[in-house]
A = this chain, B = another copy of it.
Amino acid sequence: MKPLQFTLAQLAEILGAELRGDAQKVIVGLATLQDATTDQLSFLSNGHYRKLLEHTQAGVMLLSSTDAANYSGNCLVVADPYLAYAKLSHYFDRTPKQVAGIHPSAIIAESALIDSTASIGPGVVIEEQAVIGPNVIIGAHCFIGARSRIAENGRLLARVTLYHDVTVGQRVVIQSGAVIGGEGFGFANHQGVWHKIAQIGGVTIGDDVEIGANTTIDRGALSDTLIGNGVKLDNQIQIAHNVQIGDHTAIAACVGISGSAKIGRNCMLAGGVGLVGHIEICDGVFITGMTMVTHSITEPGAYSSGTAMQPASDWKKNAVRFRQLDDIAKRVRVLEKHTQK
């Protein structure tokens, strides 16, 4: 287990940062500028909070060289304080460490290949021909379907389901309750009755992907559903069959992406966004919260839909008028024509 206290000298060495102040001072935790106590580290990454700097009790600050110039307390000077905080956060993480080996209550198919450095938790079920790579951690009650593969340094928290034929890259983290490879929503309608289409594709997940709690990613209908390298998916996201998500795209919680939609690289989708199926979003697109995306996007930039919140009594009047909007627009045109006469 890593120690959870560090001297400023140690922190400076971890970050490769310039230390200004007491090298022997001991830090036991991280906190915000407002909350930090004298044995905690804090950081300033958003200029909005700069005014709080003079009042902070933090034992040491992560600062840019500009901010450090105006600060008299202990500080570590770094190029990007937020990135430095991200790095240090892992040193103060109390997530229990798992030991290598297979818990006696786990149920492992004989043909499954489990690396000797992997940690398989209680009650885990691993089916035929699955492959679990080096240093992979699989939490309690996970289910790993036949022929699925998890590459090295993966980490599945408790109660994750991978169906069969799901391929997971290196260093992928999957939170509890996520379901990867479920049977997508494919039915053929014949005379009013829906007939199920077997979903015979799989799911391929790249390296360094993060998948949030209770997120669902359906297997492909024919070919695989594809999640690129470095993609970050928050909680309760729904990704339908044959969606493709480009590298380093980040998607916030409660987003729903319909079948065969293709999203580019380095996109950001805010919470609650919905995409119809069979559209294509180019690289570098930012979609604001709860936007309904009904067509492809071919130019990078920010996109939105919806209306702004207001008191319900006012809103009701405007919402009624929305249903008359085309009529209002036509009447304005008539008025303009009349005026131009």
Contacts and interface: CB of A to CB of B under 8 A. Distances in A.
Interface residues of A, number: 133
A69 interface: no
Protomer copies: 3
B86 A187 contact: yes
Interface of A: 29-32, 35, 80, 82-83, 85-87, 89-90, 92-96, 103, 105, 107, 121-123, 125, 127-128, 139-141, 143, 145-146, 157-159, 161, 163-165, 173, 175-177, 179, 182-183, 185-188, 190, 192-200, 210, 212-214, 216, 218, 221-223, 230, 232, 234-236, 238, 240, 248, 250, 252-254, 256, 258, 266, 270-272, 274, 276, 286, 288-295, 301-326, 328-329, 331-332, 335-336, 338-339
A183 B188 contact: no
A175 B238 CA distance: 14
Contacts of A310: 303-305, 323
29 contacts: A29-B200, A89-B198, A90-B196, A92-B198, A92-B200, A93-B198, A94-B165, A95-B198, A103-B107, A107-B122, A125-B141, A141-B143, A145-B158, A159-B179, A161-B177, A175-B179, A175-B182, A214-B214, A214-B236, A216-B253, A238-B271, A253-B258, A256-B272, A289-B292, A295-B309, A303-B310, A305-B306, A305-B315, A318-B325
